[in-house]
Structure 1
Amino acid sequence: MMQNEAEPPATGSRAWQRRQRVAHILASAERIFAEAGFGGASMSALAAAAGLPKANLHYYFGTKEALYTALLDSILDLWLSATDSIRPESDPAEALTAYVRAKMAWSRTRPYASKVFANEVLHGAPYLGSYLAGELRALVREKSRVLEGWIAEGRMEPVDPPHLFFAIWAMTQTYADFEAQIRAVLDRPELTAQDHARGSDMVLRLVLKGCGLRFGAAEGLGE
């Protein structure tokens, strides 16, 4: 994947302003790319969403492709950081609870980010193909080895680690990618904080019980 040019050190107002402007453009671009996809998003629409002249977007990113790739990078960095809790020395229930809670939180607070990723994958991952087969595959293998270690130590029931991750991704990201469906079924104009909390508890209960772990134990809750 393409990477942004390294930002200058955070020592002056110009560097800070640049980082702020880049972050603002990326945040604005999430909605446009989520709603229109890469092909349907124009630099004019992206500039309008950011409230900036189109020339500014070209100045910071050069092309629509570079802006889109930078946005994908930022989304993946965010999501992959959620796996930090899954380490050999961690308690399995605590680690999986933290992971599921983080994934559900991103679906609630960054729904457009999830939709951008979903659109990319549904179109065959033209910009993410090498990442999915490289970095993501390596990460899933690394974290799967952690789960296999827990299983070997009798700390959780035997599961197929990669497929557990697939299930977690599907269950958590549906609250962003298929929000319209969930709202329709629940008869909501928009999902509430309580809806997300109940969904998070349901997903977490299924994951933990499926792994032979007690729901609520990691958070000091009872059954």
Structure 2
Amino acid sequence: MARIRERNNELIIEAASKVFAECGFAATKTVDIAKLAGVPKPNVYYYFKSKENLYRSVLESITQPLLQASEPLLNNDDPVVAFKAYIRAKLQISKQHPHASKVFASEIMHGAPHLPEDIKQQLMEQTRTSTARIQSWIDQGLMAKVDPQHLLFSLWASTQTYADFDWQITAVTGRDELTDSDFETAASLIEQLVLKGCEVRSPA
């Protein structure tokens, strides 16, 4: 029974991510989510109680991976290893959660009106600790003297664009969808830009 509930939760959140991404919060109808998920409409309310709760669940489905993605920056003393792992973790999120990523991006672009306060605080704390970590490498002479916050902004933009603007990327590349090879090429290029552009080196 627990396994069925978990599976239905996953189906509904996945469907909701796509519908919220395409329609926005206000225009989304739970009947469309239920139809896409292949479950009766009452099941949506049974599991999530309201559209607001379901929207929060979609946001949580992307913010938790985003929070976990910063772990390489915090758990590695070698900035070369840390940046490579961070870049790939961020790209993996774009690959695995493209619709939820678009929902998150839209929420932020609209001033985060529905983003719960606890999630905001977690994301802010993640940014503070990641910025401090990068600054520590700069202070150790392991990186060029760049602005840590703007480096993070650039990393967010260059990795999340593969989810948030996938239509544009597939149109330019002439593909129906991005492949594993595309994400590998992206990872290698972003790594090169960061490591060489910021003069990142491993500790002696």
Do both share a fold (TM > 0.5)? yes
- Residue 182 of structure 1, aligned match among 169, 186, 193: 169
Offset of residue 193 of structure 1: 2.3
Corresponding residue SS for 2:112: coil
1:81 and 1:176 mapped to 2: Cα distance? Answer: 18
Corresponding residue SS for 1:87: helix
Q: What letter matches 1:58 in structure 2?
A: Y
1:84 and 1:153 mapped to 2: Cα distance? Answer: 20
- Residue 124 of structure 1, aligned match among 111, 123, 140: 111
Q: What letter matches 2:31 in structure 1?
A: S
Q: 1:129 to 1:61 in 2, by over 3 A?
A: closer
Structure 1 partner of 2:125: 138
Could you tell me whether the CA contact under 8 Å between 2:76 and 2:82 is conserved in 1?
Answer: no
Total equivalences in the alignment: 202
1:114 correspondence with 2:101: yes
1:207 correspondence with 2:200: no
Structure 1 partner of 2:62: 75
Q: What aligned pairs does 1:57-96 form with structure 2 within 5 A after superposition?
A: 57-87=44-74, 89-96=76-83
Structure 1 partner of 2:18: 31
Q: Percent identity?
A: 43
Q: What letter matches 1:204 in structure 2?
A: E
1:100 correspondence with 2:87: yes
Q: What letter matches 1:110 in structure 2?
A: H
Of residues 31-40 and 19-28 in structure 1, the stretch that sits farther from structure 2 once superposed is 19-28
Q: 1:205 to 1:169 in 2, by over 3 A?
A: same
Structure 2: 5+ residue stretches without partners: none
Offset of residue 48 of structure 1: 0.6
Offset of residue 19 of structure 1: 2.3
Offset of residue 191 of structure 1: 2.3
After the TM superposition, which parts of structure 1 deviate over 6 Å for at least 4 consecutive aligned residues?
A: none
Offset of residue 190 of structure 1: 2.4
1:113-148 CA distances to partner (integer Å, 9 max, x unpaired)? 211111112222111273575222221111111111
1:135-166 CA distances to partner (integer Å, 9 max, x unpaired)? 22221111111111111112222221111111
Could you tell me whether the CA contact under 8 Å between 1:93 and 1:208 is conserved in 2?
Answer: yes
2:123 and 2:70 mapped to 1: Cα distance? Answer: 11
Give the TM-score normalised by structure 2: 0.91
Could you tell me whether the CA contact under 8 Å between 2:88 and 2:187 is conserved in 1?
Answer: yes
Offset of residue 104 of structure 1: 1.0
Could you tell me whether the CA contact under 8 Å between 1:83 and 1:99 is conserved in 2?
Answer: yes
Q: What letter matches 1:196 in structure 2?
A: F
Could you tell me whether the CA contact under 8 Å between 1:47 and 1:57 is conserved in 2?
Answer: yes
Q: What letter matches 1:181 in structure 2?
A: Q
Offset of residue 88 of structure 1: 6.2
Could you tell me whether the CA contact under 8 Å between 1:93 and 1:213 is conserved in 2?
Answer: yes
- Residue 149 of structure 1, aligned match among 122, 136, 153: 136
Could you tell me whether the CA contact under 8 Å between 1:28 and 1:49 is conserved in 2?
Answer: yes
